[in-house]
Structure 1
């Protein structure tokens, strides 16, 4: 059975970077069976209802500015799988979760950067998934839990976001010095994940140290809860790689079997 994954996607130009994190991503596919399809939640697709990408051919979305010109020529024009999209919708419906199919939405950098690093050959169907910041943390978890059964069918669930993600606090001249507030928040989250302490995780905004600094908006944190929910049966989290960039931008790779 395939795992569900939480992957910190960092900046869009992560695909050009060579460090221990990107090296890990480029080699991760060798450690698991090749999936028949991928369901990927992106922090960069927000919607007021859970949306399911079902485009026959995804257009590229370059939802960023100020980066290398080469980045705006990157292609990862994948396709959806209509039957799987309908199955995702049915699983959500069975669990009381409203959703809709979106045939127009393209693929944004929260999805294609991660996919290009792990599966550069573009030979696996992809179901894009939105995030809804209006839902409670428990409801986010339950979205992942509703889709957990897909893992038994060789579908890889990827949730792309960032645990510590505050762009206003980045220091682009700092590579080796980690801000203590970012480290303390991420360490708190790691401890609660390994303990599978849902009560505290669902209330992290109120009780985790420096939560407002680390998570000024929840859209990048939500994918972690979804990935965790998709590992509800075994409750077996494993932090496979974690680094920081620019003082406090955390790049974390969590696997939930």
Structure 2
């Protein structure tokens, strides 16, 4: 039984940096049993209809501009897994969820920055999944919930985004020691309600959480909602554990949440 994870992918520069967060992500990958496959919901793949990848080998997408050349030389040639894709489609059909199959799209940086830290050899098959920030949180949660049985087959489900991700508020000179109070207030509220698995409050975060309009601005909801997909995948084992939290640029959060428990014995 694998847990599901929510992992902040931060700014693209994270891919070539060496700091406490990148070190944590690298250690996280080596601390868990290697999964049979990874199902990853990326904030950088927005679609109104749920997309499911069916790709033999992924191209690497550089969905950013103005960064050092080293970033554009990175390749992450992960392979897909048609059997897992087929199982996802069957689960969606069982739960009356609509979907489209995508056979061409590569991995965006919301996916490969995280995956490259966890599994640098690109030796774990990946099924890439879109998110729809316009869906109510309850519906995002249900999509993740429909995939819960995959965890019993040593498949790791990841939501990649960020709990506090407001590009209009970041301070490029900011650091972890000087974090905006509103970002801390939002993440602390979120922590309380995640640990208590308080879905009724979490689904109303926009009206209940302090500084929600700054932490999750309307144009940045796509980075927050992967949390609900990952959380839903652990609905039958409702436990939430904060594995890491740090900040860059004054308020950009690097949070990693584990939902459900890792059970290496298979019981």
Q: TM-score range by the shorter chain?
A: over 0.9
Moved over 6 A (4+): none
Aligned partner of residue 25 in structure 1, secondary structure = helix
Which residue of the other structure, out of 219, 223, 228, is the alignment partner of 1:220? 223
Aligned partner of residue 121 in structure 2, secondary structure = coil
Aligned partner of residue 164 in structure 1, secondary structure = coil
Match runs of 1:154-193 below 5 Å: 154-175=154-175, 176-193=177-194
Query: Residue 8 of structure 1 corresponds to which residue in structure 2?
Result: 8
Listed as ranges, the gaps of 5+ residues in structure 2 are 261-267
Q: Find the aligned partners of 1:196 and 1:255 in 2 and give their Cα distance.
A: 12
Q: Aligned pair count?
A: 257
Q: Contact 1:89–1:100 (CA<8 Å) still a contact in 2?
A: no
Offset at residue 97 of structure 1 (A): 1.3
Offset at residue 36 of structure 1 (A): 0.7
Q: Contact 2:30–2:118 (CA<8 Å) still a contact in 1?
A: no
Offset at residue 109 of structure 1 (A): 0.2
What whole-Å deviation, never above 9, does each CA across 1:188-241 have from its counterpart, x for those lacking one?
111100111100100101111111111013100111111111111111111011
Query: Residue 25 of structure 2 corresponds to which residue in structure 1?
Result: 25
Q: Find the aligned partners of 2:131 and 2:112 in 1 and give their Cα distance.
A: 16
Query: Residue 140 of structure 1 corresponds to which residue in structure 2?
Result: 140
Q: Contact 1:162–1:221 (CA<8 Å) still a contact in 2?
A: yes
Task: Give me the TM-score of the superposition, normalised by structure 2.
Answer: 0.94
Q: Find the aligned partners of 1:19 and 1:246 in 2 and give their Cα distance.
A: 14
Query: Residue 84 of structure 1 corresponds to which residue in structure 2?
Result: 84
Q: Find the aligned partners of 2:80 and 2:49 in 1 and give their Cα distance.
A: 19
Aligned-residue Cα RMSD (Å) equals 0.9
Listed as ranges, the gaps of 5+ residues in structure 1 are none
Query: Residue 238 of structure 1 corresponds to which residue in structure 2?
Result: 241
What whole-Å deviation, never above 9, does each CA across 1:51-101 have from its counterpart, x for those lacking one?
001111211110011111110110001121112111111112211211111
Task: Give me the TM-score of the superposition, normalised by structure 1.
Answer: 0.98
Matched, 1:47 2:50: no
Aligned partner of residue 169 in structure 1, secondary structure = coil
Query: Residue 259 of structure 2 corresponds to which residue in structure 1?
Result: 256
Query: Residue 97 of structure 1 corresponds to which residue in structure 2?
Result: 97
Q: Find the aligned partners of 2:73 and 2:239 in 1 and give their Cα distance.
A: 39
Aligned partner of residue 168 in structure 2, secondary structure = helix
Offset at residue 15 of structure 1 (A): 1.8
Q: Find the aligned partners of 2:117 and 2:15 in 1 and give their Cα distance.
A: 6
Q: Contact 1:12–1:109 (CA<8 Å) still a contact in 2?
A: yes
Aligned partner of residue 28 in structure 1, secondary structure = helix
